[in-house]
Every structure is written in structure tokens, then in C-alpha cells.
Amino acid sequence: MGSCYKSQQFPVSSEKELMEAFRIHQKDLVDYYGNDPYSGQLTKCGLKVCNISFKTSSEANDYISERTNKYGDAYAVKVGDFSKAYPQTKKEIDTFAKLKEVQKQIVDFDKDLVIRVKSSKSLFKGCTHCGSKVAVKFIQNTHCPVCNRELIKTQTDHKKITSLFQKENSLKEEIKAQKEKYKNVVAYWLVGGWAAE
């Protein structure tokens, strides 16, 4: 059983956001390569964020590969100049914060609907698709446990979620345009480590 070095770039963010992005990345790797501990991917390791920056990714990869092994954590280091990275102006910071907020609302939307149903007085919720009477205490998500179609969302909810997705799209467009002037700025997290194979 050997090991291979893997590395991956992540956009500029706080350490906490990087940890979260890495966790999601690992989940995607498992979905793609499977749960095998010898997949040759960084699916199983933890992540240690190092407070050090490099000018180039090859310097960063040298640093990480010399200090990590297949039994330990992957390391994250900075490449480039984070102080020059998007967002810089007040408008950019506001737009970026708005996007984060809308994305949080999208993630929380279904969760909030389930909470709303569970805190209502009715003990049962009728499914308009299959006619089942679903006990509210068994409701886990917005879908009918019998036919798996939409159980909770009203037309107003559908309109709300659609408008959230529209907002997200237009903010993404705005951010894409704002980022144009940053195209020559080098700044990203580099996460690397040795994966068992």
C-alpha cells in the first residue's frame, strides 16, 4: 500500500469557511471515488490550517508535502496576497455578504418549513398527491414519506424559494463582474496531503 500526494485550491475565505469547504469537498470525493480508505484521495484526513503564505503553488506544495504523511492531517497554506483579494471596496463587501446571506436562507428554507409544521397545532398533514395522512411527529423533511413528493411547501413558499434562487443568481452575476478587475490577483488557499492508495 503506497501513498500519493494530492492538492487542491480553495478560494480566499476565513479559516472556518475553509474547513467547511474542505469537508464538503471530502464528501464530494467520497461520492465520486467511494468510501475506500485506499482511494488515493484525501477523503479521510483532518485539516490543519497553517499560518504561512507562499508566492507560488510549487513552494506551497513543497512545504506541505515535506510535512504531511498518509496517517495525518492535510495542511492548508495561503498562496499569493490575501490582502489584495476580492472583496475590497465597501460595495463589493456588501454584495458578497448579501450572497452569503441569501445562500444561508436557501439552506435554511426547508429546515424552517419543517419547524413551522412541527410547531403548528395540527397533528397530521394531508398529502395532496397521494392522499396519505402523515403524522406531523414523523415529518423529517418537506417531502411526503409515502410518495416522496412535496408535502409542506405552499404556493407562497414556492414563490419565496424561487425568488431566493433568482436573487442568488443575480448576485452571482454582479460578483462575477466585480471580480473582473481581480483577475491578475493571485490569492487562494492550497490544501495538500498524502493519501493512502
Residues in touch with Zn ion (CB under 5 A): 127, 129-130, 132, 144, 146-147
Query: For Zn ion, which is the closer residue by CB, 91 or 133?
Result: 133
> Around Cβ 55, how many Cβ atoms within 10 Å?
11
Whole-angstrom distance, CA of residue 153 vs CA of residue 176? 32
> Given the C-alpha cell 398529502, which residue does it identify?
127
Cβ–Cβ under 8 Å, residues 119 and 107 = no
Q: How far is the CB of 61 from Zn ion (least distance, A)?
A: 52
Query: For Zn ion, which is the closer residue by CB, 100 or 149?
Result: 149
Whole-angstrom distance, CA of residue 108 vs CA of residue 110? 6
Whole-angstrom distance, CA of residue 151 vs CA of residue 142? 6
Query: For Zn ion, which is the closer residue by CB, 72 or 126?
Result: 126
Q: How far is the CB of 132 from Zn ion (least distance, A)?
A: 5
Query: For Zn ion, which is the closer residue by CB, 67 or 153?
Result: 153
Query: For Zn ion, which is the closer residue by CB, 52 or 147?
Result: 147
Q: How far is the CB of 156 from Zn ion (least distance, A)?
A: 20
Q: How far is the CB of 113 from Zn ion (least distance, A)?
A: 16
Whole-angstrom distance, CA of residue 72 vs CA of residue 85? 30
Q: How far is the CB of 129 from Zn ion (least distance, A)?
A: 5
Query: For Zn ion, which is the closer residue by CB, 128 or 169?
Result: 128
Q: How far is the CB of 153 from Zn ion (least distance, A)?
A: 13
Whole-angstrom distance, CA of residue 60 vs CA of residue 67? 11
Inter-axis angle of helices 90-118 and 155-179, nearest 10: 160
Residue 86 contacts by C-beta under 8 Å, 6 or more apart in sequence? 12, 92, 96, 175, 178, 179, 182, 185
